[in-house]
Structure 1
């Protein structure tokens, strides 16, 4: 499929009427009470990345989730809760980190961007064998949804537009700069999206086997099939029946590679690959940075993922 700049701009323009949220994060570098620059707190890395790109030098951005930490398991300190209360803008995604949801509700922050309200979250594929009975999914209203929207660059661009609009309200003196920064980020995300569409258009195999069901938006966007060992939670345990079904599917489709991920154990992926004589590789869900990826960013990690899938699926 082809994504035009016109379509992107039309989609982003719709965000103006949507509820906004800006990510809030707390680290050792959070702003002090005397700072003249707006303080933005983002709950985890992709939202921090967007906030930093939009803010430029005009706002102080910090993150609640430290590099190397598993964001699903985040517990907030009293200092972090206080920083949320003092933030000028908070950016989070309701349903992804329960501790953040609770804290945002308690502190009553008014200038909030909730990615779950603007990223068009959808339920996980009901036909996917990755979701085991009894697995606890992420709630969004009355239905469970997949929270990993940022692996679709078009959805992340929509959230970026919401962040830009909220910052322009909080700091109107720099509204033009925020708009310029959004346009730059929007262009980078569109280029990334186009490269992935072209790079995955012709592959010998169309199925990606991963340890954690975080890549549904990515595979849906680029016409691939996703099979996961675990479900939406990286801590979920697959049933023996699911592992047997997955092994049969791998042999049937001639899959060569099982992907594990950063920030989570690779034990199940390594075991499955070893039992079937397959290669292993890493896909990064980009929930956070680690020591290994400290010099990378969202864009570069998405391109690393693209190259890994192209190699595993023999794409041309």
Structure 2
């Protein structure tokens, strides 16, 4: 997951562009004096920032819609957004180019969500790796914790609206706790518990009593070995799996081929790392509920 992006040198170059030409961005970028400016590294963080900020801040998502956040390379404009933001919300270790931009260019407050939530190693999700699983937003309660921290940070940046930020975070927590209850109820008493997914982006859902089996391992760009595919084919047959899930933002080809080879259905389970053209009218809550419906149907809940 933690790609050491060829971006180390590139980010340094972008940093020098921003630092040497800051005035060039002053009128058009996040350095505008009109209100609080927030830079969020990828979609779930943008969703939280938008909900907590309400109308009191302009939130920029550093990962463009349809972009794969793991592979993000910041443009000069996005680096300028980091430099000019009153608050940068990011997750260290998930997007190396954002880490570099924060270290080299951020002038306002920064909030690293990896310090806020208890990330667990992939090994706890049944994967042979000691790396920490960054996909915490699959657990709505952990995302609510981020919302509370964002409210505190925005209140520090903009104390005049502190009460609004606190109230908005409380509303967000209420929605996320309701979603958590829906998952607990919806995935109880299912006919089967095994879920075959494209890559290891859904491990935090296992606390609802399901077991995730990934085709591609830690990286959405990895290639499964013949032994991996043979093991999954056997598992699908033995556990009565009805559906192989591909996901948005990456090619569904491998998942669809496995579904075809085993005679089961292919469907989409959205990791909610970012919105696409097809999900532009959705949000975190609606996508999580769509995922729940898909899991209920696949597992006979």
Same fold (TM over 0.5): yes
Gaps of 5+ in 2: 1-24
Mapped partners of 1:45, 1:151: distance in 2: 13
Q: How does 1:239-254 map to 2 (within 5 A)?
A: 239-254=225-240
SS of residue paired to 1:39: strand
- Match 1:214 to one of 174, 179, 201: 201
What do residues 220-250 of structure 1 show as CA deviations (whole Å, max 9, x unaligned)?
A: x211111000112100111111111111111
**Structure with more of its chain in helix, by fraction:** 2
Q: CA deviation at 1:125?
A: 2.4
Would the alpha carbon gap of residues 86 and 92 (structure 1) be closer, same or farther in structure 2, given more than 3 Å must change? Answer: same
Q: How does 1:88-237 map to 2 (within 5 A)?
A: 88-125=86-123, 128=126, 144-219=131-206, 221-237=207-223
TM-score, structure 1 as length reference: 0.84
Q: Is the 8 A contact 2:74 2:97 kept in 1?
A: yes
CA deviation after TM superposition for structure 1 residue 30, in Å: 5.0
Q: Tell whether the 8 Å contact from 1:30 to 1:61 is kept in structure 2 after alignment.
A: no
- Identify the structure with bigger relative contact order (alpha carbons < 8 Å, sequence gap 6+): 1
User: RMSD between aligned alpha carbons?
Assistant: 1.8
Aligned partners of 2:292, 2:118: CA distance in 1, in Å? Answer: 23
Runs of 4+ in 1 over 3 A off after TM superposition: 29-32, 126-129
The aligned residue for residue 17 of structure 2 is none
**TM-score with structure 2 length normalisation?**
0.88
Measured against aligned partners, the alpha-carbon deviations of 1:189-237 in whole angstroms (never above 9, x if no partner) come to 0000001100001100001100111000012x21111100011210011
- Match of 2:22? none
Q: Name the CA distance, whole Å, in 2 between partners of 1:45 and 1:61.
A: 11
**Unpaired stretches in structure 1, ≥5 consecutive residues:** 1-25, 132-136, 138-142
Number of aligned residue pairs: give it. Answer: 276
